[in-house]
Structure 1
Amino acid sequence: MSDKIKILIVEDEIMIAEDIAMRLEDMGYEVADKIDNVDEAVEWLEQNQTDILLVDISLQGDKTGLDLAAIINERFHLPFVFLSSLANNTTVEKARQVQPAAYLLKPFNDRQVKVSVDMALHNFYGKKKPQEPETVSEPESLPQNVVLRMPQCLFLKKHTSYHKVPFTEILWLEAESNYTLIHTKGETYTYSLVLKSFEEKLPSETFVRVHRSFIVNISNITGIDGNTLLFGKNHVPVAKSVRDDLFKKLNII
């Protein structure tokens, strides 16, 4: 699984679609595809996966971006950002009815595109859908310490971009004062959030609190040495109070 956020663009003006795609790729996102109509977009979604969509409201043909939005909500349950050159009350009200995660006005700049995508991810995967579409015209920064969960992974922020980190890649999490270190198979992420904030977002059948300062992914344990869990050459302590319950989970006799 790629660690990049995948974005599907549904835009019937080829030059605009290409421009958006280049902007997104320069920002470190992965453009899943560029499609210019509703029917092909639905067919694509039936056969492929994406994390988020950018959808023009005014698509050519009998079906508009509003129609696609309704289908996304009913069948695919994905976040989407509306693109539009219209900001009148009628258009915004119609858009509000299908609950986009954000609303991006044309023409836009790089920062507005990035903030709209981050805002949409935050609104959807953070389970904080706005009452009205949030219009990105004067961009503001989102909180830096945002942890977003989707079904099989976390979106973790590093520098200026989200990385998609599958649960299977996470080894253990470690509390260090008011910070949490997330150790994965590839790198370590540092968040100025307490360990409890992560415990609530991780599947309890796989991630177990083994110590006041450690949560481990039991599927990635490579060995046990007394009251210590091994992850390759790395050691994680186990509190005596949880040792017996943990060993039952691991089917150790």
Structure 2
Amino acid sequence: MRDENPTACLMCNTRIAPSTRGRPAVYCSRSCQARAYRRRKNRLPAPGTPVTPPSPRQTDTRARQRRRIAEALWRIAAEEGLDAASMRRIAAEAGVSLRVVQYHFDSKHALLVDALRLLHEENGRIAATRVPSDMTDPHGLLRALLNEFLPLDEQRASALRVFAAYYARSLTDPALAAVFLAAEQPLEALVGDIIETGRASGSTAPGLDVRHEADLLVSGATGLGLDVLHGRRSLADVQAVLDYHLSRIFTADAAAGR
């Protein structure tokens, strides 16, 4: 007679109903099965056994696969939002099997977080090639930095769409919000440092609250960029708005006709 008592998943301890045919299941899902496989593969050797680290070629291959999967997520998020990015859909977009995605990422949340980290790194690397690092011209430096918030080309437009998708998802996903909405606000801090440099050189208006000005510029530039994506404003319009606010901050430069 078949045993009616359900067993428990060996990975997550979820109750599993007994199988009516074949061997009894020991995992509740393919995700748990993949996690068990990774655990067996990465199991530490016995004490005294020499440990062979992965070769540079293996490490590079894994990094390229993870990047390929993250890029697939970006494309889906930019066009349809994160709700459309199921693990199976991401695998199809990346041209790999679902098992490969599950091998690299334990869960969709882990994939979302890692893809967001990679996107930040990618945007930072590209922005570094476009934004000058000369702090002797804080007005010009800040103007170039604000351009990174605007969809001036397909790369920046796509990145802005992906960040908008993450923002929408973070409203209902506290765990993702904790990662997406960084408490330290590095962009605002950077903009504040640039304004502070201008104030130290005497090129800004007196009595500025640097933190408030930085908050206004970052949130304003982001919102204006989204308006361009929606077709509500033109790039020329939003650049004129940003130049107006910069002229209020860097009054000495504005008086000199910059």
- The TM-score range, normalised by the shorter chain, is under 0.3
- Higher-Rg member (1/2): 2
Q: What is the TM-score of this pair, normalised by structure 2?
A: 0.25
Q: What is the TM-score of this pair, normalised by structure 1?
A: 0.26
Which is richer in helix?
2
Which is richer in strand?
1
